[in-house]
Amino acid sequence: MTEIVLRILSAVLIFPGGVFAIALGLLLKGVERRLVARLQRRIGPPLLQPFYDLAKLMQKETFVPDLADAGLFLLTPMIGVASMSVAMALLPMAGVYTPSAALGDLIILFYLISLPALALMLSGSASGSPFGALGFSREMAMMLAYEGPILLVIVSVALYVGQATGGGVTFDLVTIVRYQINHGPLLLEWRLAPALLAYLAFIPANLGMPPFDIPEAETELAEGPLLEYSGSSLGLLKLGAAIKAVVVTALGITLFWPNGPAGVAGVLVFIAKHMLVVGGLALLKAGVGRMRIDQAVLFYLKWPMLLGGVALVAVRA
Amino acid sequence: MRFLAKAARKSPWIYRINAGSCNGCDVELATTACIPRYDIERLGCQYCGSPKHADIILITGPVTVGVKDKLLRVYAQVPEPKVTVAVGICPISGGVFRESYSIAGPLDQFVPVDVNVPGCPPRPQAIIEGLALAIEIWGERAEAAA
Ligand code: SF4
């Protein structure tokens, strides 16, 4: 019993959650900023800039606005970091890490991934600022728009693997990974291609990256829910966002392309796949402006939803 | 904790306040000196949408009577430690608006100013040099606070 608890704790706090996820998330953020700078023909910040930013924020004064609900206001940034560390511990890394069955499956993971957005909404409304409230309503609209398609994607993959392994639907992540190691990645399965596209469209929305950085739009909403945060609680929010980027990409990798060698090489391959996604995100960030909230919501309800539906029907047929 | 302070030196986030400027300085500051072309992100700088995230505050304009209280309120929302830069001759002496009935400035009556960047408006290079000086001061303050 204690052995399992210790294993889970180390998975959540050190590898692949906690320390590893934080370091990787901040590093990827640095790579992304650097890439965007290069795409704009400038030098850009040092690779370790997000680490410096975080260290700086930890030393600054932390304000709680008069109008805010202080407890909730200071608690929500922690929810983001905590839920993402647990989510990371749920995701298997082929040949490197297999999560303990006690932790949970895809459905739990899906809930955990929605938690930071919910926490951000709470932050926005707890801060007592009108910008925060606007950010809250936009975040909510975005969430309603992208949760549907992502659920379709998850169910398509679960159904596909479930059918192939003989029993209905499987939400067990380890089974999904094992199936792909034996039969090749689902990336190459044409019936799941629409699901892959829908997932790729989901990544920037969930991470609040352009063109879907609408809830935190710093130009018109002054960063929305983040507006009232300062010092270490802002640092925690940034940290949560960095780990979330790792988790969301890692879920994509688990669903579509978990294959890799064992040991340290496996970790490197895992990081390399992350770099691919970060490259795409940097291109988007340097290349497009922000959408309006109605455009973004319509976009999600139209295309990724359609793609997810098509994938589900194709897998079922 | 020394290394934390060292890291802070490399992460000065900037916020700008228009205290009644004619907009000349804002154009030089926001759309010429701090755009990707001159790449102040190299120095770790980042524009903030909120004063609560900022470390270095750039203030333009002569501090008009109407804007004075708002300026002080926003200024108070920048968490310590912080560094203030006055951009343009207006916040330094009132510039062309000097002795006008609607001016409450100069700026250093109300807030401690660390760097002055004179000019009407100053050249982008001058603003960036002022920013570099401010970053030096910011580093010292961050280390002193740690
Ligand atoms: S210094 Fe000159 S350009 Fe700048 S705000 Fe004053 S009058 Fe305008």
Q: Dump pLDDT digits (tens) for A52-109.
A: 888 888 887 777 777 777 778 788 888 888 888 888 888 888 777 777 777 778 888 8
Query: Which tokens go with B50?
Result: 């909120």
- Read off φ and ψ for residue B100, nearest 5 degrees: -75, 150
Neighbours of A265 (CB within 10 A): 12
Q: Which of B36, B48, B146 sits opposite A40 (nearest CB)?
A: B36
Residue A224: its pLDDT value, please?
66
Residue A214: its pLDDT value, please?
67
Using CA coordinates, name the residue in chain B closest to A62.
B79
Classify A264 as helix, strand or coil: helix
Q: Which of B44, B47, B52 sits opposite A63 (nearest CB)?
A: B52
Neighbours of A219 (CB within 10 A): 11
Residue A221: its pLDDT value, please?
65
Neighbours of A209 (CB within 10 A): 18
Are B10 and B41 in contact by the 8 Å Cβ rule? The answer is no
Choosing among A43, A59, A61, A234, which should be mutated to test the B contact, i.e. which has the most B CBs within 10 A?
A59
Q: Could you tell me the strand order of the sheet in which B46-47 lies?
A: B46-47, B13-18, B56-60, B83-87, B115-117
Residue whose CA is closest, atom 2 of ligand 1? B120
Choosing among A42, A43, A74, which should be mutated to test the B contact, i.e. which has the most B CBs within 10 A?
A42
Cα B89 to ligand 1 centre (Å): 6
Residue A218: its pLDDT value, please?
65
Handedness of CA A12, A14, A16, A20 (dihedral sign): positive
Residue A129: its pLDDT value, please?
75
* pTM score: 0.85
The kind and range of the H/E element at A194 are helix A193-207
Residue among B54, B17, B12 at smallest CA distance from A231: B54
Residue type, A259: N
Instruction: Please provide the DSSP assignment of A25-53 as one string.
Output: HHHHHHHHHHHHHHHTTS--S-TTHHHHH
Classify A119 as helix, strand or coil: helix
Using CA coordinates, name the residue in chain A closest to B49.
A222
Q: Where are the alpha helices (DSSP H) in A165-191?
A: 173-183
Q: Kindly report whether the peptide bond that precedes residue A45 is cis, defined as omega within 30 degrees of 0.
A: no
Instruction: Count A/B contacts: CB-CB distance under 8 Å.
Output: 90
Do the chains contact at B42 and A43, CB–CB below 8 Å? yes
Residue B115: its pLDDT value, please?
92
Neighbours of B86 (CB within 10 A): 29
- Testing ligand 1's pocket by substitution, the residue of B16, B21, B28 carrying the most ligand atoms inside 8 A of its CB is B21
Q: What is the pLDDT along chain B (146 residues), one digit of tens a residue?
A: 677 777 778 888 888 888 888 888 888 888 777 777 788 888 888 888 788 888 899 999 898 998 989 999 889 888 888 899 999 899 888 888 888 899 887 888 888 999 999 988 899 889 999 989 999 898 888 888 77
Cα–Cα distance for residue pair A20/A141, rounded to 1 Å: 32
Do the chains contact at B50 and A61, CB–CB below 8 Å? no
Residue whose CA is closest, atom 6 of ligand 1? B90
Residue A98: its pLDDT value, please?
75
Are B107 and B59 in contact by the 8 Å Cβ rule? The answer is yes
Is residue B35 less than 8 Å (CB to CB) from chain A? no
Instruction: Please provide the DSSP assignment of A102-152 as one string.
Output: TT--HHHHHHHHHHHHHHHHHHHHHTT-HHHHHHHHHHHHHHHHHHHHHHH
Please give the number of the atom of ligand 1 that sits closest to the Cα of B61: 5
Q: Which of A40, A49, A230 sits opposite B53 (nearest CB)?
A: A230
Query: Which tokens go with A146?
Result: 């992208």
Cα–Cα distance for residue pair A291/A284, rounded to 1 Å: 12
Residue among B12, B19, B6 at smallest CA distance from B107: B19
Residue A220: its pLDDT value, please?
65
Q: What is the pLDDT along chain A (317 residues), one digit of tens a residue?
A: 788 888 888 777 777 878 888 888 889 888 988 888 888 888 888 888 888 888 888 887 777 777 777 778 788 888 888 888 888 888 888 777 777 777 778 888 888 888 888 888 887 777 777 777 787 888 888 888 888 888 888 888 888 888 888 778 878 888 888 888 888 787 777 788 888 888 888 888 877 777 777 666 666 666 667 777 777 888 888 888 888 888 888 888 888 888 777 778 888 888 888 888 888 888 888 887 777 778 888 888 888 888 888 888 888 87
